[in-house]
């Protein structure tokens, strides 16, 4: 993915409507109003890396591939209990909703992967801003007609909180296998008055007692990443529920171009970490069999080591929606 980068009169490089459209896979004119408002209100400036700066990042990525790396899977559950438990403790002391943001968004400005190149953001909150852009985009583009929203793997509830603002009044259920998540969402509901609730749910072993409300949307954001190749139980659970729409903001392994060194190193990193793989081919097979409509498969951007942000959007075939709802 490569487009000419937007430059301001002062020469600053960053994301304009054209670049964001390329990242989302649509023409700039298709960006809805609230997505444009996010783009104009936050700092999306960056400097593409060249020369010694680029060589330093490439060397660091190669070194990471030689080092021991944690592998996703059921064995990582205690780490998520601890991480979300820490956020719960800080949130319980302050009732500050900003405390729900995961720790990894709070690191100083770091290298990002944007439009096929390594870049250095000017704002330390560049990745968090990009995620806010994606949250706004999917809410406007895909979720407005959903009767309720279920976010699986919701963690500390930062996405749930964002959707209470983007889709006011919509019932939202956050599901996570880490117990602190449920207490966090109880506090969010009390503080905001939004129709939010939490429930424990293990995506490796879905709860057959859970039934989604008719006309619901299923959302995952950086959660299926942890399933690796063991996504089938969750996928079958979701298919059995027949939701209106399913939106996954996740890494999409099969969209890497393995002949491109920039992509190959990211694919190798994702393989070492045991991240999501095989999900897109499975959806494509279901679409070919006429069982689902696969609406979107699009890479967006990533942090230093891999493209962790992409979109997969699909729905069961028997859910007929207004054709004007999405023009994908």
Contact 283, 218 (CB under 8 A): no
Can you list the domains of the chain with their CATH numbers? 71-109+125-325 (3.40.50.150)
pLDDT (tens digit per residue) in 290-309: 999 999 999 999 999 999 99
Contact 150, 218 (CB under 8 A): yes
pTM exceeds cut of 0.75: yes
pLDDT (tens digit per residue) in 201-247: 999 999 999 999 999 999 999 999 999 999 999 999 999 999 999 99
- The gap between the terminal CA atoms of the chain, to the nearest Å, is 18
Number of neighbours of residue 195 by Cβ within 10 angstroms? 14
| pLDDT tier at 103, thresholds 50, 70, 90 | confident
Of 297, 300, 299, 301, whose CA–CA distance to 312 is shortest? 297
Task: Answer whether residue 320 shows pLDDT above 80.
Answer: no
Task: Answer whether residue 319 shows pLDDT above 60.
Answer: no
| pLDDT tier at 108, thresholds 50, 70, 90 | low
């Amino acid at each position: 993915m490569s487009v000419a980068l937007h430059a301001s009169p002062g020469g600053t490089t960053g994301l304009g409507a054209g670049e964001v459209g390329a990242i989302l896979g649509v023409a700039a004119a298709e960006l809805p109003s609230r997505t444009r408002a996010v783009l104009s209100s936050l700092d999306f400036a960056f400097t593409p890396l060249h020369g010694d700066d680029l060589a330093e990042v490439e060397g660091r990525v190669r070194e990471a591939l030689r080092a021991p790396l944690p592998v996703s899977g059921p064995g990582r559950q205690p780490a998520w209990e601890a991480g979300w438990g820490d956020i719960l403790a800080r949130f319980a002391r302050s009732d500050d909703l900003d405390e729900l943001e995961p720790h990894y968004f709070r690191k100083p400005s770091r290298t990002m992967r944007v439009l096929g190149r390594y870049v250095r953001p000017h704002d330390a909150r560049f990745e968090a801003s990009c995620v806010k852009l994606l949250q706004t985009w999917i809410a406007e583009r895909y979720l407005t007609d959903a009767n309720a929203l279920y976010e699986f793997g919701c963690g500390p509830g930062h996405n749930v909180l964002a959707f209470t603002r983007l889709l006011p009044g919509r019932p939202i259920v956050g599901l996570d296998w880490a117990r602190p998540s449920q207490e966090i969402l109880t506090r969010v509901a009390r503080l905001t008055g939004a129709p939010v609730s939490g429930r424990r749910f293990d995506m490796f072993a879905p709860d057959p007692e859970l039934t989604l409300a008719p006309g619901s949307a299923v959302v995952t954001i950086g959660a299926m990443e942890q399933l690796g190749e063991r996504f089938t139980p969750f996928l079958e659970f979701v298919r059995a529920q027949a939701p209106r729409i399913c939106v996954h903001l996740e890494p999409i392994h099969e969209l890497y171009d393995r002949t491109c060194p920039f992509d190959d190193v990211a694919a190798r990193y994702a393989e070492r970490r045991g991240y999501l793989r095989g999900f897109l081919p499975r959806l494509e097979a279901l679409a070919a069999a006429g069982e689902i409509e696969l609406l979107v498969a699009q890479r967006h951007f990533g942090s230093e080591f891999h493209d962790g942000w992409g979109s997969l959007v699909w729905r069961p075939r028997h859910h007929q929606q207004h054709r004007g709802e999405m023009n994908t």
